[in-house]
Amino acid sequence: MKEKTYPEYTTHYPLLIKGCLKRPLTLYPDDIAMVYRNDGGQYSRFTWRQWHERTCQLAHAMKSLGVKPGGAFQPGDRIATMALNHHRHMENIYATVCTGAISHPINIRLSLDHMAYTITHAEDKLVFFDDLMLPLVEALYDRIKPAVQGFVYMSDKPGLPKTKIEPLYEYEELIKGQPTTYDWPDFSEDTYAVLYYTTGTTGLPKGALYTHRQVFVNTLGMLTSLYLAPRLPDDPPQQNQLVPLLIVPLFHIHAWGAPFYHVFAAAKMVFSGRFTPETFCELVQTEKVNTVALVPTMLAMLIEYPDIEKYDLSSLTRLSVGGGALPLGLKRKAEKLFPTMRATSGYGMSETMAGVLSAGIKRNMVDWPEEKIDEVLVKTGVSRPMIDCRVIDENGKDVPHDNQTIGEIVLRGHWIMEKYFKDPERTAAAWKDGWFHTGDAAKVDTDGYVIITDRITDVIRSGSEMVPTVLLENLTCNADFVLEATYVGVPDEKWGEIPMALVKLASGTKATEEDILTHLQREGVDKGKITRWMLPVYVAICDDVPKTSVGKYDKIAIRKKMDEYTSKAKMVRKP
């Protein structure tokens, strides 16, 4: 008798994102899945069953609009979103990817030129947008209309606006009357699911495509990292349910993969629409949020919020910082405000579908003094499960683990981008000898932790030496009187470049430029963390430090206005 087997349902059973979608529906269909507070203060709540039914309705509606799936390494239709974080955005993500099409969140903070480029380059078939984005879409309309076949308007209020945009569909009317079940198809796990474009700080944005397999394995990797981390003696009890507040925009690599691993974990997801310190505090208090991920600039805004002590934020026990380095000083300031919370750092980029390194502690460190543990938790980190990471020199050799030698971070693993969408030249530049070159300069300490020192393009080259600006930024932010700080190189005939600090002071402080130099001398040079020639020659105290659309310090913008900043800067030492 010939043996009949089913490898497509066993050894070759495809890893598809619909597996994330099904899990909470099976286990907790009537639990609250999502809570959304809109800008008017109105709350919407959906159980897993209700949210799944709406997602099914949207899938049927998109099929009626002609959305076509892809196949193995063959892109399906791209579906763009220009939206805040809310349940409709989540419905769009899952209805798109689980039918085999590609979810493409648009960074609504990019320039009009770059937004128009990403939409036309991706050839987005449909654009879903919030009512708040109407003026933005109207400004883009004439430039993107040839590529886009339809627009979908999302709002809590019924009706369509008067606009030149066509064809325009109303979201709630579009899904009304559609079936509340959907037979989610099986297809190759190598079908593309999501498309992310970089912020285009060094040229036109680049598109990174990821398959269902990559997204699913990334989801498992993120959850594995969370539950394998050693616990400290004074850590709060492990929660039975995650209650995350999703404030990192979904256009930023789908909030670092949050829609996938939080749905898989059956977390109760809380959305605030636009981020403000007030709504953050309100939602943490009312929904008992226990975990949040944010960028350093958001954390700085919370620290500066004068009414923060009016709220009960004791439920918050975990805070992850990404999109930029977590200065030790900022971490300590935050933990004074949130005494039950521990802040940690991590690292990822558009080309790595978010996290690839994280700054967790090792088992042998659990009894270390708190101050020493804090110093570990603000490092860039060690590789997440299933990711290989090296720091190499110009000859491709691993740098020594001496906490001094600087090289470039290179990566490979299950969810590292294979290629840029329709961009073979920049793909070839990024991939060399089987390793993805990140463009980030770093060193490795004696415990094996990677510590980013700079973007290679941002390193200040003074004489024959490299000045690591991230290290200087972190040391500067350790001062109680500093809220934010960044460093750039000022052109100099003798040295090539000399370092200048741009500093935003904490509220109510009256520190001077000399105070900043004194702090760096005491905490950096005297303690052997930096050498004297790395100290800033100029210090500019600013009302605000320029940032990119994803909250990183915008050193390109600073360089474009170099004369303006040097004119207000004070020379604090001779080069």
Q: What is the 3-state secondary structure (H, E, C) of 143-194?
A: HHCCCCCEEEEECCCCCCCCCCCCCEEEHHHHHCCCCCCCCCCCCCCCEEEE
Please name every residue paired with 258 in a beta bridge, in sequence order, or none if there are none: none
Domain boundary among 410, 433, 456: 456
How many separate domains does the chain show? 3
Does residue 403 share a domain with residue 328?
yes
Given CA atoms 109, 114, 118, 124 in this order, what sign does their dihedral have? Answer: positive
Mean pLDDT of the region 106-118: 91
Question: What would the 3-class secondary structure string for 39-108 be?
Answer: CCCCEEEEEHHHHHHHHHHHHHHHHHCCCCCCEECECCCEEEEECCCCHHHHHHHHHHHCCCCEEEECCC
What's the pLDDT at 466? 66
CB-based burial of residue 468 (10 Å sphere; 0-12 exposed, 13-18 middle, 19+ buried)? buried
Please report, rounded to a whole number, the percentage of residues in the chain having pLDDT higher than 70: 98
What's the pLDDT at 463? 66
Give the range of the structural domain holding residue 422, as residue numbers without chain letter.
218-233+297-456
Whether residue 362 is contained in a domain is answered as yes
CA dist 223 and 260 (Å) reads 10
What's the pLDDT at 564? 87
Does residue 418 share a domain with residue 326?
yes
Please report, rounded to a whole number, the percentage of residues in the chain having pLDDT higher than 90: 64
Q: Are strands 354-358 and 342-349 parallel, antiparallel or unpaired?
A: antiparallel
Segment 171-200, tens digit of pLDDT: 999 999 999 999 999 999 999 999 999 886
What's the pLDDT at 160? 97
Inform me whether the pLDDT recorded for 391 exceeds 60: yes
Inform me whether the pLDDT recorded for 328 exceeds 90: no
Confidence of residue 211 (pLDDT cuts 50, 70, 90): very high
Whether residue 414 is contained in a domain is answered as yes
Whether residue 450 is contained in a domain is answered as yes
Whether residue 200 is contained in a domain is answered as yes
Q: Which residues lie closer than 8 Å to 35 by C-beta, 6 or more apart?
A: 43, 44, 45, 268, 269, 270, 271, 283, 287
User: Among 404-418, 423-437, 531-545, which stretch is predicted with the lowest mean pLDDT?
Assistant: 531-545
Does residue 190 share a domain with residue 58?
yes
* CATH number for position 123: 3.40.50.12780
Inform me whether the pLDDT recorded for 460 exceeds 70: yes
What's the pLDDT at 218? 94
Q: Which helix (H) or strand (E) holds 125?
A: strand 124-130
Q: Which helix (H) or strand (E) holds 119?
A: helix 112-122
Whether residue 253 is contained in a domain is answered as no
What's the pLDDT at 548? 79
Segment 130-165, tens digit of pLDDT: 999 999 999 999 999 999 999 999 999 999 999 999
Segment 226-239, tens digit of pLDDT: 777 788 777 777 78
E strands in 493-530: 496-505
Inform me whether the pLDDT recorded for 494 exceeds 80: no
Segment 272-326, tens digit of pLDDT: 988 999 999 999 999 999 999 988 888 888 988 999 999 999 999 888 887 777 8
Q: Which residues lie closer than 8 Å to 189 by C-beta, 6 or more apart?
A: 14, 15, 16, 211, 212, 213, 216
Confidence of residue 330 (pLDDT cuts 50, 70, 90): confident
Does residue 383 share a domain with residue 317?
yes
Whether residue 243 is contained in a domain is answered as no
Does residue 413 share a domain with residue 511?
no
Domain boundary among 456, 481, 498: 456
Does residue 151 share a domain with residue 101?
yes
* CATH number for position 479: 3.30.300.30
The single-letter DSSP state of residue 510 is -
CB 5 within 8 A of CB 12: no
DSSP letter string, 534-566 = GS-SEEEE-S---B-TTSSB-HHHHHHTHHHHH
Whether residue 261 is contained in a domain is answered as no
Mean pLDDT of the region 117-124: 97
Please confirm whether the linkage preceding 233 is cis (ω < 30° from 0).
no
Mean pLDDT of the region 536-560: 85
Does residue 520 share a domain with residue 447?
no
pTM: 0.86
What's the pLDDT at 209? 95
Q: Which helix (H) or strand (E) holds 253?
A: helix 253-264
Residue 499: closest CA among 489, 491, 509, 510: 489
At residue 378, what are phi and psi to the nearest 5 degrees?
-100, 5
Does residue 468 share a domain with residue 440?
no
Whether residue 419 is contained in a domain is answered as yes
User: Among 74-78, 102-106, 544-548, which stretch is predicted with the lowest mean pLDDT?
Assistant: 544-548
Residue 164 is encoded by which pair of tokens? 């030149």
Q: What angle do CA 421, 425, 428 make, to 5 degrees?
A: 95
CA dist 114 and 343 (Å) reads 33
Does residue 56 share a domain with residue 194?
yes
Report which residue type is found at 183: D
Q: Are strands 43-47 and 291-294 parallel, antiparallel or unpaired?
A: unpaired
The HSE-up count of residue 530 (CA atoms within 13 Å, CB side) is 25
Q: How confident is the prediction for the chain on average, in pLDDT? A: 91
Does residue 521 share a domain with residue 433?
no
Inform me whether the pLDDT recorded for 464 exceeds 60: no
Does residue 532 share a domain with residue 432?
no
CB 125 within 8 A of CB 67: yes
Does residue 474 share a domain with residue 507?
yes
